[in-house]
Structure 1
Amino acid sequence: MAIQIITDSTCDLSPEQAAALGVTVVPLRVRFGEREYIDGVELTKAQFYQLLSESRELPTTSQINPDAFEALFRQVVERGDEVLGVFLSGELSGTFQSAVIARELVGAQHIHLVDSGSVTLGLALLLEQAAHLRDEGQSAKQIAVRLEELRGRLSLYAMVDTLKYLKMGGRLSGGAAAIGGLLGIKPIVTALDGKIEAVAKARGKAAALAWIAEKVAGEKMDPALGISFAHSCNPELMHELRDRIEQVCELPSSFAVEIGSVVGTHAGPGCVGIAYFRGE
């Protein structure tokens, strides 16, 4: 019995990365005004950030409905395979709940679902571990249990380069955004209890990257597990972040993703981050 790993497009894996891991990606939908796009299919990440820069209002994203998951789950189960679904945090979207409803509609025992408690590079890192465990021969149930344990050890830190979109989304007042912009304030965010929350502020990019590097060194990542980096339209700054972290600790193998519509809506371009698992 084979295992089909299924996720949503907020994992931000490229088509090539998803294919290499053997992961099926179900897209969310992104709406700019009256126009709706299928994330990653009708709208690339480059096109998303272009539209974001031109828009006077923030786009919205639509969760995946249960019908889409039900059809996919039935297809997998009817061919005699197991489903391992790993999705973005249920605190950020109703997508995970849609998957739960679909599992109930299918009524199959061989559908195992995991709320990642994360998104983008954090979700991608859990998917990499899921693929690794599948290739080792573990069952879908065993992998789901392991992912839920790893979720509690997952750290994610990212620097937001611009305050523009936090202001547009009402997460920051106009006055605070103006002062922050003048002072070069760079918020640093983390995934906490399934939500994206501000954890620190730094004056300038160099200070923000130094803060993240110090945090990573202090938390002592698990060297046996991989790490992920991410950026939104700024791969050079992502490489600078990696270089800074390498100055303070040894890094295991890593991969990178480009941040897409869900996080990119509020973070905007220029965001960089890292996700990893803390040691036990």
Structure 2
Amino acid sequence: MVQNKVALISDSTCDIPWEWRNKYDIAVVPLNIIFGEQQYKDGIELTADQFYQMLPGTKYFPSTSQPSPNDFLMAYQAAARKGYEEALVITISSAMSGTINSAREAAAVSPIPVRVMDGKNNSMGLGWQVIAAARAREAGGDGPAMLKVAERVRDNMVYFISLDTLEFIAKGGRIGSATKFLESIIKIKPLISVNSKTGSVVPSIPAHSRHNAIEGLYKEFFNHIDTHLPMHITVLHNSALEEAQALAERVKAEYSPVELFISTTSPILGTHTGPRALALCGYALADQ
């Protein structure tokens, strides 16, 4: 039997490291990756490393689909079997995916009460919210307290992504207002961010070279986060580990965040951002 009564559930775009998923007992419902006629459960039937190895040589442009309501229902049922009496679900932004609709539909027939929160983000922009909720639970917080903490982290999230190409995000149709830049920046390195209020992708300042793109990513991220407060930061990459490591070392040396780690972006997001994307994602709060 579990000691805390609130189960914590997210989806596979959250990019939370496996050790933290296990430590905090975070259930993750996978989205689906489609290569031609083959469909894979994200992170289960196809890992991030496998995906990025397949991506350059595939003749099929990958696509994605949200989990079914039954996928979420199985997660709710599993939580009930563990002894949880209610659940908090935090999903990828509703502006990016219909995943939240499946979570809500399943909640209507769940064996335990379920709160569903729109994370208005993806990757560790979502993952940091889930981790904050998990830590609030560990500190004795109930469902409303966990929700409040997650919402506070969500509203303070800063997330910038440098793309090596616009091809994938354009084909995926997930760039929202950034489409107006398509014709003018197709041959340069786009910089995009996630608006934490709307949960949508918006364009930022592009660059003409890989070096300048990474410099722009670094500058914009630290222009938007309060560096005077304790910072929790993830360096994310799509098969660009050496550059991610160099970026992490620079962040550590210049800003000394209280938490910093490197993670590979999930295949679901890699489908839209393409190979060699780099990102900085995190938040700063005085008491978090």
> Which interval holds the TM-score relative to the shorter structure?
0.7 to 0.9
Report how many aligned residue pairs link the two structures. Answer: 274
The structure-2 alpha-carbon separation of the partners of 1:64 and 1:256, relative to structure 1 and needing over 3 Å to count, comes to same
Shift of 1:272: 1.2
The structure-2 alpha-carbon separation of the partners of 1:222 and 1:26, relative to structure 1 and needing over 3 Å to count, comes to farther
Output the CA distance in 2 between the equivalents of 1:80 and 1:253: 29
Q: Aligned to 2:263, which of 257, 262, 265?
A: 257
- 1:115: which partner in 2? 118
Output the CA distance in 1 between the equivalents of 2:138 and 2:228: 20
- 1:103: which partner in 2? 107
Output the CA distance in 2 between the equivalents of 1:166 and 1:77: 38
Output the CA distance in 2 between the equivalents of 1:112 and 1:104: 11
Shift of 1:86: 1.3
Q: Which amino acid aligns with 2:123?
A: T
- 1:196: which partner in 2? 201
Q: In the alignment, is the contact (CA less than 8 A) between 2:31 and 2:268 conserved in 1? A: no
Output the CA distance in 2 between the equivalents of 1:243 and 1:80: 40
Q: Which amino acid aligns with 1:58?
A: F
Shift of 1:106: 2.3
Q: Secondary structure at the match of 1:143?
A: helix
Q: In the alignment, is the contact (CA less than 8 A) between 2:63 and 2:172 conserved in 1? A: no
Shift of 1:136: 1.0
Shift of 1:99: 0.8
Shift of 1:54: 2.1
User: So what's the TM-score if we normalise by structure 2?
Assistant: 0.85
Shift of 1:248: 4.8
The structure-2 alpha-carbon separation of the partners of 1:254 and 1:198, relative to structure 1 and needing over 3 Å to count, comes to same
Q: Aligned to 2:76, which of 64, 68, 73?
A: 73
Q: In the alignment, is the contact (CA less than 8 A) between 2:231 and 2:284 conserved in 1? A: no
Q: Which amino acid aligns with 1:251?
A: P
- 2:23: which partner in 1? 20
The structure-2 alpha-carbon separation of the partners of 1:225 and 1:141, relative to structure 1 and needing over 3 Å to count, comes to farther
- 1:83: which partner in 2? 87
Output the CA distance in 1 between the equivalents of 2:231 and 2:150: 12
Q: Secondary structure at the match of 2:126?
A: helix
User: So what's the TM-score if we normalise by structure 1?
Assistant: 0.87
* Structure 1, unpaired ranges of 5+: none
Q: Aligned to 1:34, which of 34, 37, 44?
A: 37
The structure-2 alpha-carbon separation of the partners of 1:278 and 1:225, relative to structure 1 and needing over 3 Å to count, comes to closer
Shift of 1:215: 2.4
Q: Secondary structure at the match of 2:45?
A: coil
Q: Aligned to 1:93, which of 92, 97, 107?
A: 97
Q: Which amino acid aligns with 1:22?
A: D
Shift of 1:42: 1.1
Output the CA distance in 2 between the equivalents of 1:163 and 1:239: 23
- 1:277: which partner in 2? 283
Shift of 1:251: 2.1
Output the CA distance in 2 between the equivalents of 1:226 and 1:99: 28
Shift of 1:139: 0.7
Output the CA distance in 1 between the equivalents of 2:157 and 2:19: 24
Q: In the alignment, is the contact (CA less than 8 A) between 1:209 and 1:244 conserved in 2? A: no
Shift of 1:222: 6.6
Q: In the alignment, is the contact (CA less than 8 A) between 2:231 and 2:257 conserved in 1? A: no
The structure-2 alpha-carbon separation of the partners of 1:254 and 1:190, relative to structure 1 and needing over 3 Å to count, comes to same
Output the CA distance in 1 between the equivalents of 2:97 and 2:228: 29
Q: Which amino acid aligns with 1:240?
A: A
Shift of 1:238: 1.1
Which digits, 9 at most, give the CA deviation of each residue in 1:190-233, with x for residues without a partner? 11221223212012222222222222332314733522221111
Output the CA distance in 1 between the equivalents of 2:30 and 2:124: 16
Q: Secondary structure at the match of 1:197?
A: strand
